[in-house]
Amino acid sequence: MNAAWPRQSGALLIMAALLMPCIVYFGTARSIVAIWQRSETYAHGFLIAPISVWLIWQQRARLRERAIVPYWPALAGLAACGALWLLATCGEVQIASQYAFAAMLPLTVLAILGKRVGRLIAFPLAFLLLAVPFGDSLIDPLVDLTAHLTVDALRATGIPVLREGSSFSIPSGNWSVVEACSGLRYLIASFTLGCLYAHLSYTTRWRQLLFAGLAIMVPVAANGGRAYLIVMIAHLSDMTLAVGVDHLIYGWLFFGLVMLLLFWCGTLWREPRTEPLVPAAAPPASVLPATGEGAPLRHLAAAVLASAACLCLWPAYAWLMGRDGAALAPSSPHSLDGFRTAAPSTAPFTDWKADYGPARAELHRFYGAGHQAVGLTVLAYARQSGGGKLISSGNRLLPAKQPGWHQPASAMRDENVGEDKLRLRESQLSGPRGRLLVWSWYWIDGRRTGSDYVGKWLQIKEQLLSGRDDGAVVMAFSAYDDNPDAARAALRDFLGANLPSLETMLMHSRRP
């Protein structure tokens, strides 16, 4: 029996195979849906799968003509996606594990049904990747770009502007470009609609890619124009318009107008299709010959089993690794009271606290180092899951529940601390009670780094080699007025005296 769209047992095997990634990686699929539910930015994800199914359904007549010949090289792609999922899971990189899972869906189709079928429905299968909620890492760059565009446009208009980070002041009032002003929601909506429109309207690849590129560039530029117009409306109305709910209304109206113009312009070079998207009448499968000879049913069954093996291997290995993982002792950070400081612990000089996910253990202390007070925060993590992750795009130095804080500058820095060389991230924060200089770095498996990417790699390595995922973020901070050099000197002296004690405590806090 050949597999040219087989009925009964063959069809059931195909349906079961296509459901396999969702069943085996149910936790990852559930995490995607959870983000759709809680974030309006990614709520469009609920529409992606139905649209893909609809696009595939339009090709049903042509699909009946394609013979099923399993494509064995696709199994290597499935195995690679599984390995990526395992690494991302070990490093708690949720976005990577979600993309790895999403890529398994078209690869499973390709492995079992073959290239002929996969080529015909390539776009609907690739469209599924847009269901993954991606974009949080773009918020800060988009905020910075929007602030740049707005300030440049205001200055070009002749309005004096004083800018500090993403906040700026003009004669009529103060403004701040916050996360909601980044334009991420506009960008995601535009790109998703742009890809679908390009597929339905054009047949040549360069036109499709050009329109998809415009669907990215236009909303980014339009968001800068939107922010500028809102500031100008408020400025010219003496801060009576565009400062409340109408701020959002004007923004969405402007975005809607820009998108309408974009899609209208897209119709100017729309291409006629050589054959209709929806067939006039789909003849029964029995009268449609398969193009070429299909593979024997035993080959189809072998492809299903091989795909299942490639899918199940990695979650099984992850389960075995997680059985004996160690956990950080939550009471250990209290031993930091033994730090050798130049003066006894001082009264708090700031109410600043970083906005990080819940840790298994926390330490917040203030110390005296010469004439300069120093603060220390240690957040220790283990058995990381949910919101409590050491390295996450949701972790920020700016406190979410304390308005008025801004981050004018942040950069990587190499410091000589005692006899050690420490690579850390230096951030300058501005708040209601003054300015802070914050030095922060990760401590993972006895190593230090200020880089999120290096930290993720250390977490992955720790998980694969020892089954643990414990680590800590260390933040030392000091106040300054205009020149941060005095704060740097205080932090350098303080850490030079106490860094060995801190790392000894962190090492001992790990259970054997």
| pLDDT tens column, 121-178 | 899 999 999 999 988 888 888 988 999 999 999 999 889 998 877 888 888 888 888 7
Query: Are residues 125 and 249 both part of a single domain?
Result: yes
pLDDT of residue 333: 39
| pLDDT tens column, 435-450 | 899 999 999 988 899 9
Residue 390 covered by a domain: yes
| pLDDT tens column, 304-314 | 899 999 999 99
Query: Are residues 309 and 369 both part of a single domain?
Result: no
What does the buried/exposed string (b/e) look like for 372-407 if buried means 16 or more CB atoms within 10 Å of the residue's CB? bbbbbbbbbbbebeeebbbbbbebebbbeeeeebeb
Angle at CA of residue 351, ends 450 and 430, nearest 5°: 60
Query: Are residues 246 and 369 both part of a single domain?
Result: no
Query: Are residues 358 and 244 both part of a single domain?
Result: no
Please give the average per-residue pLDDT across 235-259, as a whole number: 71
pLDDT of residue 229: 85
pLDDT exceeds 80 at position 235? yes
Please give the average per-residue pLDDT across 298-326, as a whole number: 80
Query: Taking the CA atoms of the chain, what radius of gyration do you get in angstroms?
Result: 28
Average per-residue pLDDT for the chain: 81
Query: Are residues 378 and 478 both part of a single domain?
Result: yes
Angle at CA of residue 344, ends 343 and 349, nearest 5°: 95
Residue 165 covered by a domain: no
Residue 193 covered by a domain: yes
pLDDT of residue 287: 37
pLDDT of residue 193: 92
Query: Are residues 201 and 261 both part of a single domain?
Result: yes
Residue 366 covered by a domain: yes
Query: Are residues 129 and 195 both part of a single domain?
Result: yes
pLDDT of residue 386: 57
The conformation of residue 244, written as its DSSP 8-state character, comes to S
Using pLDDT thresholds of 50, 70 and 90, give the confidence band for residue 347.
Answer: low
Residue 148 covered by a domain: no
- Pairing label, strands 447-449, 434-444: antiparallel
pLDDT exceeds 60 at position 281? no
Query: Are residues 258 and 391 both part of a single domain?
Result: no
d(CA 315, CA 86): 7
pLDDT of residue 324: 44
| pLDDT tens column, 174-209 | 888 877 778 888 899 899 999 999 999 998 889 999
pLDDT of residue 105: 93
pLDDT exceeds 80 at position 418? no
pLDDT of residue 506: 82
Residue 176 covered by a domain: no
pLDDT of residue 341: 42
pLDDT of residue 509: 66
| pLDDT tens column, 456-512 | 888 888 887 777 778 899 999 999 988 898 899 889 888 888 888 888 888 876 654
Query: Are residues 303 and 336 both part of a single domain?
Result: no
Query: Are residues 319 and 386 both part of a single domain?
Result: no
Count the neighbouring beta carbons within 10 Å of the beta carbon of residue 242: 21
DSSP state letters, 258-280: HHHHHHHHHGGG----SS-SS-S
| Tokens linked to 262 | 């974009």
The domain tally of the chain equals: 2
Residue 496 covered by a domain: yes
Please give the single-letter amino acid code of residue 312. Answer: C
d(CA 234, CA 483): 35
| pLDDT tens column, 79-130 | 999 999 998 888 778 899 999 999 999 999 999 988 988 898 899 999 999 9
Query: Are residues 337 and 476 both part of a single domain?
Result: yes
pLDDT of residue 214: 93
Which residue segment(s) compose the domain that 18 sits in? 1-133+186-213+238-283+292-324
Please give the average per-residue pLDDT across 51-64, as a whole number: 85
pLDDT exceeds 70 at position 315? yes
